[in-house]
Amino acid sequence: MSIFSRSLLLSAIITLAAPAQQPIPEKQVEKRVDSLLKQMTLREKIGQLNQLFVFPQPVPGMPSLNDEDIAKGDYGSFLFVSDAAQINRLQHIAVDKSRLHIPLLFGLDVIHGFKTVFPAPIAMAASFDPATVERAQAVAAREASAAGVRWTFAPMVDIARDPRWGRIMEGAGEDPFLGSAIARAQVKGFQGSYIGEPGHVLTSVKHFAGYGAADGGRDYDSSYISDEQLWNVYLPPFHAAVEAGAGTVMSAYMDLNGVPATGNRFLLTDVLRDTWNFQGFVVSDAFAVRDLVTHGFAKDPADAASLSISAGVNMDMGSRTYIDNLETLVKEGRFKETQIERMVRPILAMKIRLGLFETPYVDESATKSIFAASEHKAEARRAAQRSAVLLRNEGALLPLIQGRYSSIAVIGPMADSFIDIRGSWALVDDPTQAISVARGIREKVGNGVRVETAMGCEIRRNVPSMFDMILGVKRGTPLTDQQNTTEIEKAVTLASRSDVSVMVLGETQDMSGEAASRTSLDLPGRQEELLEKVMAIGKPLVLVLLNGRPLSIHWAAEHVPAILEAWYPGAEGGHAVADLLFGDANPGGKLPVTFPRTVGQVPIYYAHTLTHQPEGSPGFVSRYWDEPSSPLYPFGYGLSYTTFKISNLKVENHKVSVDVQNTGARAGDEVVQLYIHQKSGRASRPVRLLKGFERVTLAPGESKTVHFTLTDDELSYWSATDRKWVHDRSDFDVWVGSDSNATLHGNLSPVQ
């Protein structure tokens, strides 16, 4: 391009640009896209569909970064570049040296924080507080965008009802109503009020769709989901995210009913675009386009490119299948260039909406102050406080009273771990700045109380994690069985000479997340033995769980007086746990997923159908001869340091109201939950469905009336018989309470 042509192009871009503080009008976006497409070669168009992984060090088998390819326009996006200086360097090549000066779009898995790590997503869902979720992702967006990362591969909105699946950690649990509320909050937090709002980032809702229903809870395995379950359970959170304005969607790895999701036209075109009118673009999961060959779906990479782009995947993440094959396919007549343009158009539109043409670079000097913002840490601490779930508190052991204990033992393999408290997908933070539980307790009680730690036993994966393999991480030799026995003995000795023990058990951060499925839900390693031996001492004991999935803690639920489910609470987790243990914060979180008694009950979830012999009916006995059918802890369950009374249920003309009162001596939060059951109709509907919730804060003695409205959206469902959404004229049971076993009951009749 000549200097004169370049100046004309830049002048047109600047002329058509809108102020950064408001969205660019769609007509201007379309006009700018049209102008660019007219000037682009076929190769440049295909380049916009190509995303490259960039790792800190070369990874065998993966394409390497080549600056000349950027200048040629072979890449539209990069993944895993998070340093502002590196982003500016690569952006300068694209903007200054490429023919049309089209900026790059930098993406990263900003799952639960960037520099400031927030609680894991399942923990955030446990807050039952969309406003907290929105604020957390707004902080993550502010930090990421400051570094030049303008696209996050989040939120993950997969419904998961099998806790063996490691990625249950990344979602909102088992319920589509809660999942939809959390999905909307995340999209709004990340993207702001419009795509391109300063300090915000583009979202990529994943994994579309049904990924959380993988066979056996095995990551990447096939999902077989009926149409009824797909529309009523697995698709609603995606639909909510799209309605909230999500700019992009990520296709999933697995086969859905025999067809790989990345080559699934039903999902990516019929549902996403034709039914939901999605106007953004679809990116594949990593190497998923190439792996259509691995699935046995495509015969070769060229066929994979053809099948994927025909299904509706705009951008190929990482595999170079598009850039290596599409040009030939067009020249051979298997594709028209106009088909390629249709896939490029929304990508260019997003870059324009994000303001990348006007401000492709970031101010490297400003990132440090943004990353160090004290309000970000304060928000992370608050989120961790609101995400914790109090599972048990016999004898009101918690909160611990300061001054009562002169010595505290903090015991467990993660008691003083600043690595594990962050959870999986903490990619760019400084892990040494994370606050362990032991450190949080030390800072809480001060020098007047002796706080000592003991590992108790070592736990570790028996195979390397995905990130270990990619990054070449080598871990030291594990402790021998005898060394673990010695560590248990040390912990017992410490607990014996201490006034109270806080045991921090669960899973290390690499035991939940991607490629981290489990065959057991028991406490890994010898933690159960450690717990039982310390409990046998007879001293007060509190169990704090750090984990990303429900665990089988049946013994602890019967014998340990106080259990706090802290999940992976993030970088400020140690401070938040200490706040909760000593009563400076009152637990108010609720379980977003059912806790089974044993892995043999899995899958277990509250929203099952009545079946032939319903639970609670006169002839009901446990479906298992060796265990009760009921869960250890139900969906929506969580205790507080105070007590609440929910009463005066009124149901009239689809309006539901109830009074909630704090009947205890402390201020606290209750999550008032509304459940319904359709009594008859064209299908047997689940025994209960969450259709409303509100988290309320009440002072001692204070009351509040909570109101819900049951609209057609809450009362309708997708009918496998009619192949559409229907609303039967049926009576409905209505329950309101503090979990899915709520007993306060009313009846809703059809409006005449």
Widest Cα–Cα separation across the chain: 86
Helix (H) or strand (E) holding 79: strand 77-79
Chain-centre distance for alpha carbon 591: 15
SS3 80: coil
Helix (H) or strand (E) holding 724: strand 724-726
Contact between residue 119 and residue 172 where contact means Cβ atoms under 8 Å apart: no
The residues that bridge with 669 in the sheet, in sequence order, are: 697
Closest CA to 577 of 346, 325, 398, 326: 398
SS3 544: strand
Contact between residue 546 and residue 510 where contact means Cβ atoms under 8 Å apart: no
How many C-beta atoms surround the C-beta of residue 662 within 10 A?
24
**Can you tell me the distance from the alpha carbon of 597 to that of 675, in angstroms, rounded to the nearest whole number?**
23
Residues in the chain: 752
Tokens of 364: 């490297």
Residue whose token pair is 């067009």: 330
**Can you tell me the distance from the alpha carbon of 254 to that of 261, in angstroms, rounded to the nearest whole number?**
6
Contact between residue 180 and residue 236 where contact means Cβ atoms under 8 Å apart: yes
Contact between residue 426 and residue 512 where contact means Cβ atoms under 8 Å apart: no
Q: What angle do CA 20, 23, 26 make, to 5 degrees?
A: 130
List Cβ neighbours of 60 (8 Å cut-off, separation of 6 or more): none
SS3 170: helix
DSSP string, 97-161: ISSS-PPPEEEE--SSBSSSBPPPHHHHHHTT-HHHHHHHHHHHHHHHHHHT--EE---B-----
Q: Is the dihedral of CA 154, 159, 164, 165 positive or negative?
A: negative
The order of strands in the sheet holding 655-662 is: 644-652, 655-662, 703-709
Inter-CA distances, 641 with 31, 123, 737, 742, Å? 59, 19, 17, 20
The count of C-alpha atoms lying within 13 angstroms of the C-alpha of 145, restricted to the half-sphere facing its C-beta, is 24
Burial 573-590 (b: 16+ CB within 10 A, else e): bbbbbbbbbbeebbbbbb
The count of C-alpha atoms lying within 13 angstroms of the C-alpha of 664, restricted to the half-sphere facing its C-beta, is 15
Instruction: Determine whether 713 is an active site residue.
Output: no
Tokens of 263: 């080559």
Residue whose token pair is 């709520």: 742
Tokens of 300: 């070769």
Long-range contacts formed by 471-474: CB under 8 A, 24+ apart: 471/55, 471/56, 471/57, 471/59, 472/57
**Can you tell me the distance from the alpha carbon of 118 to that of 383, in angstroms, rounded to the nearest whole number?**
7
Tokens of 537: 């001492």
Task: For helices 3-16 and 26-39, give the axis angle rounded to 10 degrees.
Answer: 170
Tokens of 691: 């259709």
Which of 285, 303, 316, 429 is labelled catalytic? 285
**Can you tell me the distance from the alpha carbon of 397 to that of 639, in angstroms, rounded to the nearest whole number?**
13
Contact between residue 520 and residue 479 where contact means Cβ atoms under 8 Å apart: no
Residue whose token pair is 């589509």: 176
Tokens of 664: 């205890």
Q: What amino acid positions are annotated as catalytic residues?
A: 285
